[in-house]
Structure 1
């Protein structure tokens, strides 16, 4: 049985904690950015109210739907929530698929790598996953680097998996990490 409530974790520069309604403005700051959401499956947030609704209906209801809470990625220096990292899909009871998003202002500073590396042990030990999976749009090189830096092993490519907001279909390389992979480290 999965543990669906996540703890607060501190890294050198970040605090990872469950998302809360007070994060709505910070969520809106990046969820309203077309450049940030162009490769995500959800549409850009047009209003702050949309971000509030997303927190209330998507994030805060996750445990009731059998999905672990998402981690809000918060800067230690100022308390700003700059993104999320989460297991958004659970299959077979112990396989989780990871997703993440980060405010564009904070891209290319290593924050997502830092957050993902901190969350992985929690998902394996406390939450109870046996296998974690992740994929990215083939043109999203930065995401590939985050995934590889976290130790995920490429298993294949979903060819023309999904059309993006530009109407084109793209390949999605997919990766996995087993609990035993990190136990060996």
Structure 2
């Protein structure tokens, strides 16, 4: 009896580390892109990741009204069904509002938020291909298999060289 072939090794995840400085620059670049659209009545930050980009964008657009929508989708690296735990009541249906998040990944969170704010302009700093159609404006695209490490989730430490971590001879 022939032995079944060994399963192919699972590829190592790719990581894209974003520093505080880079997040600030990228969020400001998002504001530059949005300022051409004219004034927004307010900004809705998707918590928690969208809080800091939304604050930067709101400052650059001189928008003082900030609302939040809290959607729980991730538990560290595990994805689940999105649950809206705090709706953005002040934003109505989103007409005239800017919705800001740090990242659009698969679009799961975006669908939940879009259902609440169908008329809002949705902007993210980073976008992955699967979620990109659900967002109106973004700055940087990363591959679907890349895990973005945001500054609030990381700390400085030693990292092995790439060649050593990929088991190259």
Q: Does TM, normalized by the shorter one, top 0.5?
A: no
Q: Which one has the bigger helix percentage?
A: 1
Q: Between the two structures, name the one with larger relative contact order (CA 8 Å, sep ≥ 6).
A: 2
Q: Which is greater in Rg? A: 2
